[in-house]
Copies of this chain bind each other. A is one copy, B any other.
Amino acid sequence: MKQVLMILGGMLLTLMVHAQQLTKTEEKNRSFTGAVAVKKQYRVIYQMDNGDPKVIEKVLRNLNNALNDPRLKGKLQAELVAFSGGTDAYLKGSKYEETLKSLVEKGVIVAQCANTLHERNIERDKIYDFIGVVPSGNGELILRQAEGWSVIKP
């Protein structure tokens, strides 16, 4: 009995110390759990414009995290557009083929900037056959935002 009281007392003390540490504003901030999804559909375009494998992997991981966010699950139309160094991810033989294919199967639009292909002298058949091609990655970002899509550059 004495031990139980001591444990309960300790827990109470911990709670009090915790409560004392945070101001009211801080407590309110701590209790924040995120924006609330009220729409039936959300749309996002991901910008992949860096050839650093760490950045490419971050883009792909981020995009999957968005698709799996419980607030957006089944409600998110996504597009992935590569330009500049990001094109490396699409080159045949890259280690991202399966991840990219699985994105396409999930309904994500996976697209490449034609300007970058031209600037870097990359023939279309050097990138995976299942990739779409858009006139410019930058134009795509501008048009999508104008259509109300969110944009994320990881």
Contact = CB atoms under 8 A, between A and B. Distances in A.
Secondary structure call for the A interface:
mixed
Contacts of A33: 132-135
Contacts of A142: 42, 44, 66, 69, 72, 76, 150, 152
A95 interface: no
A109 to B, nearest CB: 6
Interface in A105-154: 105, 107, 109-111, 113, 115, 129-148, 150-154
A94 interface: no
A22 interface: yes
Interface string A20-47: 0111011101111111110100101001
